[in-house]
Chains A and B, each alone.
Chain A
Amino acid sequence: MTDAQASTSLLDEAATPASVFKTRLKALRRGDSGMLPIILGLVLLGAFFQIRSSTFLSAGNLTNLCIQSTVFILLGMAEIWLLLLGDIDLSVGWVAAVGAAIGSILLDTTFNWPWWAALLLAIVATTLIGTVQGLITIALNVPSFIVTLGGSLFWEGVAIYMIDSQNAGGAIPVREKVLYGIVNINMSPTATWIFSLAVAGGMSLLIFQKDRARRSSGLDSVTIYETFLKIASLVGLTVVLVLIFNTNRGTFTVLEGMPYAVPLIVVILGVYSFILTRTKPGRYLYAIGGNIEAARRSGVNVNRYRLLAFALTGFTSGVAGLVYASELGGISDGIAGGTLVLYAVAAAVIGGTSLWGGRGRMIHALVGGLVIATIYNGMALIQLNQSVELMATGAVLVVAIAIDSIARRGAAKLGG
Chain B
Amino acid sequence: MTVAPESSSPLDPKIEIEVKGDSGAGSSDVPLLSLRALTKHFGPVEALRHCNLDIPAGKVTALIGDNGAGKSTLIKTISGIYPPSSGEIFWEGKPVHIHSPRESDALGITTVYQDLALCDNLDIVQNMYLGHEATKFGLLDEIEMELETKNLLRDLSVSTVQSVRQLVGSLSGGQRQAIAVARAVMRDTKLVIMDEPTAALGVSQTNLVLSLIQKLASRGIAVLVISHNLTDVFAVADRVAVLYLGNLISSGPVSEYDTASAVDLITTGTTSRDRAAVAAAS
A interface residues, Cβ below 8 angstroms from B: 1, 3-4, 6-7, 9-12, 23, 30, 32, 213-214, 217-220, 277-280, 283, 286-287, 289-291, 293-300, 358-359, 411-412, 414-415
Q: Which of A219, A280, A290, A414 contacts B119 (CB 8 A)?
A: A290
Q: Does B163 contact A (CB under 8 A)?
A: yes
Interface contact B140-A283, CB-CB below 8 Å: yes
Which A residues are CB-close (under 8 A) to B146? 219
Q: Which of B119, B163, B204, B205 contacts A23 (CB 8 A)?
A: B163
Which A residues are CB-close (under 8 A) to B113? 297
Q: How far is the CB of B267 from chain A (nearest CB, A)?
A: 32
B residues 119-169 with Cβ under 8 Å of A?
Answer: 119-122, 126, 130-133, 135, 138-140, 143, 146-147, 150, 153-154, 159-164, 167, 169
Which B residues are CB-close (under 8 A) to A297? 101, 111, 113, 116-117
Q: How far is the CB of B139 from chain A (nearest CB, A)?
A: 5
Interface contact B140-A279, CB-CB below 8 Å: yes
Q: Which of A4, A289, A411 contacts B167 (CB 8 A)?
A: A411
Q: Does B62 contact A (CB under 8 A)?
A: no
Contact of A30 with B138 at beta-carbon distance under 8 Å, contacts A217-B147, A297-B101 already known:
no
How long is the Cα–Cα vector from A6 to B160 in the complex, in angstroms? 6
Q: How far is the CB of B102 from chain A (nearest CB, A)?
A: 5
Interface contact B170-A219, CB-CB below 8 Å: no
Q: Which of A3, A290, A293, A300 contacts B208 (CB 8 A)?
A: A3
B residues 156-196 with Cβ under 8 Å of A?
Answer: 159-164, 167, 169-172, 174-175
Contact of A299 with B132 at beta-carbon distance under 8 Å, contacts A6-B160, A411-B169, A415-B171 already known:
yes
How long is the Cα–Cα vector from A358 to B120 in the complex, in angstroms? 9
B interface residues, Cβ below 8 angstroms from A: 101-102, 105, 111, 113, 116-122, 126, 130-133, 135, 138-140, 143, 146-147, 150, 153-154, 159-164, 167, 169-172, 174-175, 204-205, 208
Which A residues are CB-close (under 8 A) to B139? 278-279
Q: Which of B117, B160, B208 contacts A294 (CB 8 A)?
A: B117
How long is the Cα–Cα vector from A32 to B170 in the complex, in angstroms? 13
How long is the Cα–Cα vector from A3 to B154 in the complex, in angstroms? 16
Q: How far is the CB of B119 from chain A (nearest CB, A)?
A: 4
Q: A11-B163, A294-B117, A298-B131 are in contact. List 15 more A-B contacts (CB 8 A).
A: A3-B174, A4-B204, A10-B162, A11-B154, A11-B162, A279-B138, A283-B126, A286-B122, A287-B119, A294-B118, A300-B131, A358-B121, A359-B121, A411-B167, A415-B171
Which A residues are CB-close (under 8 A) to B120? 290-291, 358
How long is the Cα–Cα vector from A279 to B135 in the complex, in angstroms? 8
Which B residues are CB-close (under 8 A) to A219? 143, 146-147, 150
Contact of A7 with B167 at beta-carbon distance under 8 Å, contacts A293-B116, A295-B130 already known:
no
Subset of 20 A-B contacts with CB under 8 Å: A1-B172, A3-B160, A3-B172, A3-B175, A9-B159, A9-B160, A11-B164, A30-B167, A217-B143, A217-B147, A277-B140, A287-B126, A294-B118, A295-B130, A296-B101, A297-B111, A299-B105, A299-B132, A300-B130, A300-B131
Interface contact A289-B130, CB-CB below 8 Å: no
Q: How far is the CB of A234 from chain B (nearest CB, A)?
A: 21
Q: Which of B119, B154, B204 contacts A286 (CB 8 A)?
A: B119
Q: How far is the CB of A48 from chain B (nearest CB, A)?
A: 35
Interface contact A415-B170, CB-CB below 8 Å: yes
Q: Which of B102, B135, B153, B171 contacts A280 (CB 8 A)?
A: B135
